[in-house]
Structure 1
Amino acid sequence: MPLSFHKMHANGDDFVIVDARTTINPITSALAKRMGDRHRGIGFNQLAVMLDCEDAAAWVMFWNADGTALDACGSATRGVASRLMSELNSTSVVLRTHRGLLTCERSAANTITVGMGEPLFDWQQIPLARELDTAHLPLAGEPAACSMGNPHCTFFVDDLGTLDIAAIGPTIETNPLFPEKTNVHFVQVINRRHIRLRIWERCGGVALGSGTCSCGAAVNGMRRGLLDDCVEVECDGGSVTVQWRGTGPVLLTGPVEVVFSGAFAL
């Protein structure tokens, strides 16, 4: 039987949603990889699977296009929240992910805000291969690291235009310091409330946008004292807003759009 799906994007960060509520979860690593193939499948950066949940509107699981699982995806979380809010005729919904219960709201401007959970800074939580000061890693450029349910490494640079992201990104992603690899950010601070961000996504490559990367980059900038507690994050595909007051969940706000719906042959 074909598998129904919905494809959406958030500032060009594309993802697919499968609604497996009331049924057995059909997604395996092999199937996620088949679906994620941009030449032989649907193509996406992440896959989100909606499952039944007793204490939330849905339990949401995430997969990368290479068939690996991940705990967090800000773009796909916003997409799932948008679909469920429309289904429930509501402007708010609570989802459960491996990051816990996430509260999501729709604004009058039709953007979606998600409480993405608290950032993690301990070297074992990120994780790193050994105990280090996660605000100043011993790599050229002295990046900062954190986790938003997935690992993030943030470099602060004077001019993004001078960097070859496709060449630098994979060397940092696979550095032995990161046993589970890492997302890599390159940040140019425009002012204390606005950054320009370019992304090398773990298991994905250069990305037009990423919700968790936007959160991780902004939070690391706030830790360094470079940014205020509410920041516009301008990615290659568009902008989101990240807010964090030093404690509690990071709030991610941005648009999502439907691309198309279909059925994937199993």
Structure 2
Amino acid sequence: MRALKMNGTGNAFLLVDARKQTFAVTPERVCDLAEAYDFDQLLVLETSTDADARYRIWNRDGGEVGACGNGARCAGWYLTRQSGTDTALLDTAYGLTQARRTGDFRISVDLGPALTKWQDIPLARVMETIALDYALESGGIRVSQPGAVSMGNPHIVFGVAELSGLPVEMLGSMAEHDPLFPEGVNAGFMQILNRTHIRLRVWERGAGLTKACGTGAAAAIVAGHRKGLLDRQCHAAMDGGDLFIDWREDNHVWLEGPVELEGGITL
């Protein structure tokens, strides 16, 4: 079976189109493939009666997850290239999602509604999600009161004065495995440059520190806006490049950015 190596703003993926050929996925197989091809997530497209494809995601540790924004953009780009159209419909764990081609290698995708109730994240106990009563410390550096948002997957976002020198790997891993988050959590660390621009790094559950995280960028803008610090349309500069986020009045968050096709492989 053929697969594609792709990335969305540096977020690395292996994309498999299994709509015409069965592709068996086990946690062990995902881990083996990740070791061989060095990706953050495995993306698998399956047949759907309601959309162009059913879209499924596995983190590099073998765990299946419900959402991946940059992965959805890569899947959307592939489907539009296959169909010769500018739009594609993905059948995801959180509902039907539209992807739109905005350039030869640029895709915008509807990530669905931002959910902010404590049960939606989910958290282990009742807590105000605008600013959680929660803190982490590593190497004498303390971060606290993150915003919590679900974008089909759980996120917390800490505001920091400066990203340089922040022990993101240590802090992110601590958050991922904290019992406050029964399904684990993606931990974002956001430096606000102005009301429409942020710098962001994200520790992804099951994948570690990645060059970009689409749902993490969306969660950061939602969290920042809820605190009165950001506008609803913002640019997020990540290690792999820039993303544009538009949190619309219908509560849906759109994510736009570049994709890259690195090449094909035979599994």
- TM-score over 0.5 (shorter chain): yes
1:12 maps to 10
Aligned to 2:91: 96
Task: Verify: 1:195 aligned to 2:198, yes or no.
Answer: yes
User: Taking structure 1 as reference, are residues 8 and 110 closer, same or farther at Cα in structure 2, changes over 3 Å only?
Assistant: closer
Aligned length: 259
Structure 2 counterparts to residues 228-243 of structure 1, below 5 A: 228-243=231-246
Q: Tell me, what secondary structure is at the counterpart of 1:160?
A: coil
> Deviations 1:156-215 (Å, cap 9, x if unpaired)?
111112411122111111111111111101101100000000111111221110111111
| 8 Å CA contact retained: 1:25, 1:51 | no
2:100 paired with 1:105: yes
Equivalent residue number for residue 123 of structure 1: 118
1:93 deviates by 1.0
Q: Is the 8 A contact 2:189 2:200 kept in 1?
A: yes
Mapped contact 1:7–1:14 kept (Cα < 8 A): yes
TM-score, length basis structure 2: 0.94
Q: 3-state DSSP class of the match of 1:106?
A: strand
Task: Verify: 1:33 aligned to 2:1, yes or no.
Answer: no
TM-score (norm. length: structure 1): 0.94
Letter in 1 for 2:81: S
Report the equivalent of 2:138.
none
- Return the match for 1:43 from 35, 38, 46: 38
How far off is 1:110 after superposition? Answer: 3.7
Counterpart-to-counterpart distance in 2, 1:162 and 1:252: 28
Residue 159 of structure 2 corresponds to which residue in structure 1? 156
Alignment-mate amino acid for residue 261 of structure 2: V
Are the equivalent residues in 1 in contact too, given 2:155–2:216 (CA < 8 A)? yes
Asked if residue 263 in structure 1 is aligned to residue 266 in structure 2, the reply is yes
- Runs of 4 or more consecutive aligned structure 1 residues displaced over 2 Å after TM superposition: 22-25, 245-248
Residues 84-122 of structure 1, C-alpha deviations (whole Å, 9 max, x = no match): 101111011111110111111011464100000001111
| Bigger mean CA offset, 196-205 vs 235-244 | 196-205
> What is the match of residue 181 of structure 2?
178
The answer on 1:71 being equivalent to 2:66 is yes
Distance 2:189 2:251 in 1: 25
Deviation at 1:28, TM superposition (A): 2.2
Contact 1:144 1:155 (C-alpha < 8 Å) held by counterparts? yes
Residue pair 1:20, 1:26 contacting (<8 A) in 2 also: no
5+ residue gaps, structure 2, are 136-143
Identity %: 38
Contact 2:41 2:207 in 1 (8 A): no
Question: Which sections of structure 1, spanning at least 5 residues, go unmatched?
Answer: none
